Structure 1
Amino acid sequence: MSQPIEDYALIGDTHTAALVGRDGSIDWLCLPRFDSGACFSALLGEPKHGRWLLAPAEGPPRQVRRRYRPETLVLETEFTTPEGVVRVVDCMPPRDRVPDVLRVVEGVKGQVRMRLELVIRFDYGSVVPWVTKADGALHAVAGPDALILHTPVAVHGQGLTTVADFTVSEGQRVPFVLRWHPSNESPPPALDVEAEVADTEAWWREWSSHCAYGAGPWREAVLTSLRVLKALTYAPTGGIVAAATTSLPERLGGVRNWDYRFCWLRDATFTLYALMLSGFQDEAAAWRDWLLRSVAGDPAKLQIMYGVAGERRLTEQPLEWLPGYEHSRPVRTGNAAVHQFQLDVFGELMDALHQARRVGIPTDHRAWKLTRVLMDWLESGWKQPDDGIWEVRGPKQHFTHSKVMAWVAFDRAVRAVEGFGMEGPVERWRKIRDAIHAEVRERAWDSRRGAFTQAYGSSRLDASLLLMPLVGFLPSEDPRMVGTVSAIERELMHGGLVRRYPADEGDGLPRGEGVFLACSFWLADNYVLQGRVDEARALFQRLLGLRNDVGLLSEEYDPDEKRLLGNFPQAFSHMGVINTAFNLTEHLTSPAEHRQSGNGEH
């Protein structure tokens, strides 16, 4: 059985990523890209589905300590055993041509017997490769994939597993490098592992040195979250995947297990803020350019997500042979939600492009022509019901958040004309903007409860309503927003954190899922805007306390079982860390105030 989600750490090369467990086992790795088939899939099954273990041979160690080397994504896992102390260093060098996983076993104290178990299973654990030895290396080949292992340790086969037992003494360093290559090409040469680890460490430190957060009180948390975003970036295109994994459950044993190795438009504005305010303009510009390339085409066919290179067909299918994380089935690849109509993504796209203009990312006038086409369609399209932000697979509704984001699209289009000299039917856009605003105030407001509701005619609350002041739809001090925040505090809080929506309704919404971490960050941001800074700081510290020992967060958290849930690490959660830290740091630009500034009064 795989380990608790919080027991994993991330390493990556800005093309793909691996998860390394506290036990020294790499249980998840897709090659050569995030959305490729996994060669290690034990995360979603058993060791027989693929993993790479490097750990003390004499049973569980007395103590395990982990850390990333300062300002890097080079992982150190230190095992203390009765015989001594040993450290395993793991990293993936930022990609040159082929992906590499580097591991170095360091003797720290005494002598420790070590065990290597390498189980290579291509295509998510379903394909056993043909394994041979040649030129002092181990070669594994099946179909289009090939892996080559270089190490001075003598390895041998045992029950379709490559194994080795070796001893590491104090001061000794034993290197391992696993390199992927297309099976029709010659294998890449061996690497100088020590030099590659040093170069990887230097690369991450140089990148981290550009962080604009400075010496603020949450610098470590901000930097860690920024490195997660960078590690989830597909460097050739600038796309950023939502998470490194598929099918980690929103509820243990449940069926809501989705593939998050794609790029969601909804993340666009949050991502741009996190990167731009933190000083990473190049990454922000690359993400903006990815957005424009991906959405080009028929506006009626705008998708909520795309592949890392802008792919549109993300066909969902189950992997029946994998038992799932803690028996949470089915395991899925692809995501059928790609076919949903979610009105809010128009607003996220327009807001992202607007904010990019505000911070000085050069405007591409071809991009404005594209957005004009999108806005032309939205002039009538905003009236349609949609599937909503949470991708619930049920009937379409007039979701409040979706209408608010349609308002954002027209508001940012108006401001592009007024503030940046773009051309467009600004008077018509103003009228539509005002009409949406009036409709939401009338049809989404529940005077009996004194709060906005999830959808027109609904009595249900929804945490996405917390975004209304963050996007400038209403001032945070407006009595309607104060009442909505108060209602969410009363009805959606669980264990001091925020659920997405009520958990006890029977119309297709899942029961028993964890709290959605991004929603709690939004509540903290609302507290800041309402002047409730002490409450915001306390909630933020509570959220930071949910990170694992190396600072990573998943999508959700179960306050009862005190466990992370959902795909991991989750970009949306780490965006929340960055943006809320900026909101709470007085001398820095506040993304919440920046995003809503300049909007008209309503």
Structure 2
Amino acid sequence: MTSLDLGVVGNGTYGSLIDKWARIVWCCLPRFDGDPVFYSLLNGNGAEEGDGARGYWGIELEGATSTRQYYRHNTAILVTEVTDRDGNTIEITDFAPRFTRRERMFQPMTMVRRVRPVEGTPRIRVRIRPGFSYGAEEPTVTRGSNHLRYVHSGLALRLTTNAPVTYLLAETAFNLTSPMSFILGPDETLIGGIEETARQFEERTEDYWRKWVRRLALPLEWQQAVIRAAITLKLCCYEETGAIVAALTTSIPEAANTQRNWDYRFCWLRDAFFVVRALNSLAEVETMENYLRYLGNIVGTARDGHLQPVYGIGLETHLTESLVDTLKGYRGMGPVRRGNQAYEHFQHDVYGNVILAAAQSFFDERLLQQPVKADFERYEKVGERAYAMHKQPDAGMWELRTRAHVHTSSSLMCWAACDRLARIAVHLGLQERSRHWRRLADEVHETICKLAWNEEMGAFAESFEGSGLDAGLLLMTEVNFLKPSDPRFQSTLAAVEKALLRGSHMFRYATEDDFGMPRNAFNICTFWYIDALARVGRTDEARDIFESILACRNSLGLLSEDTDPATGELWGNFPQTYSLVGIINAAMRLSRKWEEQI
């Protein structure tokens, strides 16, 4: 059965998902939000050997009975070992080239697959079955002496290989007696030899990733978990613009047969604060600065300070949502969606998240481009919008599609926008602007304390004058709205625990929404809970829960958006940026200090 026990390879230009049998089951080209050339992940139960399924690329060992998969140490190079019933074994190495060449980053829209016999005389069959237009159309295939071309309208792909092209075309099984390489990318002639080029790409890519990891600031504990999360977060960054997508997939349901299937191949501003915190804690300044540049471009084009909740990775503002009727969906659980209606929503928390993230740039002396007063004035327009919206109903951070309230978490972030602008103004020596923003922040703070507090519950409610609870309330100490010792936060934390905690997993909310009652836990909420526990001094509990969620990662150390609290199964889009930064931020907060151990 199809599952999210998948590996990710990529290079900041595109990304591929590969299952435990080394089948590429998802890959969008020419960029993260493009047409899925390999799409079997969303077409029923995936590609099964010998059937007529399309949209995958398998290098299959005849009679395969077992597989072992791992990342090469501290890299984004994925290795899969497959063994048949007689002990014959092959090793498949997958990666996307990424290294410095001619004083710039070489990261082509190219995937490299290398296969070699490890034991015995294995027989393999190569099935490369790309498709276009979300599986609606097949490519035109032509052949050369050492390559195949897959052509459809605006995209032409060339597979260059030293494997017998005749066997590839007919999907004929053959004995693997020596290493073979496959290089799939733009329709361009390969300059060097096939095996030599693949080997050189692999060696230089491995060297790049190991040196990249060596520069990271790491906690003493959970280093491998943090390294894998950091590498995967890097793979979710579209480096041409600096955007970081919420996930590489669309339409993996939040829970089975719920219709909660969304396209996450875009950049949500809500992620900004947590992403910048994670990158800063890792000392990954280059990626952080590129991401801040992307946010700055959005703010620079915002009319009257208005921000959408989500933008395309190329700053696209219209992400029109439509249903794809040519794919069956993950495990046959449609619908498959392209685009996301959330771009039309009013979600007022985005203002605070953007300014919380941008504040880093005003205080960080490492950045190549230091912001100036004009940049601050652009963010002030966002702040004015935040203040104007702090008592207005919106769809909230959970993007409710058919109802609106004045959500406490949205107002909380509006307060954070005003508060951080006041702090930035002090730093810039703009005393009058600092007093202005402090006055507005204090007003919003008083409003939240008055209208969101529910005396009967003895806790803050999820909306003004409401009686419900949601996990967004846990962020009150995260953004310094209340001190962890504040009795109001302590009682709110207790109320949220009682209402939303299921074992070690925190739900977003426990009331019916547009699609019924939520069934699975949203992983980032569990990380917010871990942070809240640590802040109030319940560190041992926080560490135990952190260990439990790490145990829910797939075999390669990756997380999706949601977890079934009963079974630990992963659901939702994959890999999830929010979950990755959750791992990083929690480990940084909970780990023992280096000086305590060494």
- TM-score norm. by structure 1 comes to 0.92
- Point out the more displaced range, 343-352 or 148-157: 148-157
CA distance in 2, matches of 1:507, 1:93: 44
Q: Which residue of 2 aligns with 1:410?
A: 418
Q: Deviations over 1:507-551 (max 9, x none)?
A: 525424310011111111111111111101101101111111111
Q: Which residue of 2 aligns with 1:67?
A: 70
Alignment partner for residue 271 of structure 1, among 270, 275, 296?
A: 275
Q: Which residue of 2 aligns with 1:242?
A: 246
Q: Which residue of 2 aligns with 1:596?
A: none
Q: Which residue of 2 aligns with 1:553?
A: 559
Q: Which residue of 2 aligns with 1:486?
A: 494
CA distance in 2, matches of 1:245, 1:200: 24
- Point out the more displaced range, 405-414 or 201-210: 201-210
Shift of 1:279: 1.1
Shift of 1:83: 3.0
C-alpha RMSD over aligned residues: 1.9
Q: Which residue of 1 aligns with 2:590?
A: 584
Letter in 2 for 1:32: P
Q: Which residue of 1 aligns with 2:481?
A: 473
Q: Which residue of 1 aligns with 2:453?
A: 445
The answer to whether 1:3 aligns with 2:2 is yes
Q: Deviations over 1:369-428 (max 9, x none)?
A: 211222233332323211100111122210000011111001001111123324653333
CA distance in 2, matches of 1:467, 1:588: 28
Shift of 1:85: 2.1
Q: Which residue of 2 aligns with 1:131?
A: 141
Shift of 1:357: 2.5
Residue correspondence of structure 1 range 148-297 to structure 2 within 5 A: 148-156=158-166, 163-169=171-177, 172-181=178-187, 189=191, 191=194, 192-213=197-218, 216-296=220-300, 297=302
Q: Which residue of 1 aligns with 2:102?
A: none
Q: Which residue of 2 aligns with 1:84?
A: 88
Q: Which residue of 2 aligns with 1:36?
A: 34
Indicate the SS of the match to 2:134.
helix
Q: Which residue of 1 aligns with 2:132?
A: 122
Contact 1:276-1:359 at 8 Å conserved across structures: no
Q: Deviations over 1:149-178 (max 9, x none)?
A: 1222224489xx752422235xx3221111
Over 3 Å counting, the alpha-carbon distance change for 1:363 and 1:49 in structure 2 is: same
Indicate the SS of the match to 1:77.
strand
Letter in 2 for 1:468: M
The answer to whether 1:355 aligns with 2:360 is yes
Contact 1:30-1:39 at 8 Å conserved across structures: yes
Indicate the SS of the match to 1:449.
coil
The answer to whether 1:338 aligns with 2:346 is no
Contact 2:97-2:107 at 8 Å conserved across structures: no
CA distance in 1, matches of 2:218, 2:363: 19
- Point out the more displaced range, 357-366 or 341-350: 357-366
CA distance in 1, matches of 2:282, 2:513: 41
Q: Which residue of 2 aligns with 1:375?
A: 383
Q: Which residue of 1 aligns with 2:580?
A: 574
The answer to whether 1:146 aligns with 2:156 is yes
Q: Which residue of 2 aligns with 1:541?
A: 547
CA distance in 2, matches of 1:49, 1:263: 29
Unaligned runs of 5+ in 2: 48-52, 99-104
Contact 1:272-1:356 at 8 Å conserved across structures: no
Letter in 1 for 2:28: C
Over 3 Å counting, the alpha-carbon distance change for 1:363 and 1:423 in structure 2 is: farther
Over 3 Å counting, the alpha-carbon distance change for 1:91 and 1:153 in structure 2 is: same
Alignment partner for residue 303 of structure 1, among 305, 308, 327?
A: 308
Contact 2:533-2:539 at 8 Å conserved across structures: yes
Contact 1:414-1:430 at 8 Å conserved across structures: yes
Over 3 Å counting, the alpha-carbon distance change for 1:513 and 1:424 in structure 2 is: farther
Contact 2:160-2:190 at 8 Å conserved across structures: no
CA distance in 1, matches of 2:189, 2:459: 62
Over 3 Å counting, the alpha-carbon distance change for 1:127 and 1:187 in structure 2 is: farther
Q: Which residue of 1 aligns with 2:397?
A: 389
Over 3 Å counting, the alpha-carbon distance change for 1:221 and 1:507 in structure 2 is: closer
The answer to whether 1:456 aligns with 2:455 is no
CA distance in 1, matches of 2:228, 2:594: 19
Contact 2:299-2:305 at 8 Å conserved across structures: no
Contact 1:27-1:41 at 8 Å conserved across structures: yes
Shift of 1:84: 2.1
- Point out the more displaced range, 237-246 or 367-376: 367-376
How many aligned positions are there? Answer: 574
Over 3 Å counting, the alpha-carbon distance change for 1:449 and 1:377 in structure 2 is: closer
Alignment partner for residue 399 of structure 1, among 385, 394, 407?
A: 407
- TM-score norm. by structure 2 comes to 0.92
The answer to whether 1:18 aligns with 2:6 is no
Unaligned runs of 5+ in 1: 590-602
Shift of 1:236: 1.0
Q: Which residue of 1 aligns with 2:332?
A: 327
Letter in 1 for 2:210: R
Letter in 2 for 1:246: T
CA distance in 1, matches of 2:333, 2:517: 15
CA distance in 2, matches of 1:109, 1:424: 74
- Point out the more displaced range, 388-397 or 425-434: 425-434
CA distance in 2, matches of 1:525, 1:550: 24
Contact 1:49-1:126 at 8 Å conserved across structures: no
Contact 2:400-2:513 at 8 Å conserved across structures: no
Contact 1:32-1:98 at 8 Å conserved across structures: no
Indicate the SS of the match to 2:176.
strand
CA distance in 1, matches of 2:447, 2:468: 18
Contact 2:96-2:107 at 8 Å conserved across structures: no
CA distance in 2, matches of 1:97, 1:273: 26
Shift of 1:458: 2.0
CA distance in 2, matches of 1:303, 1:97: 30
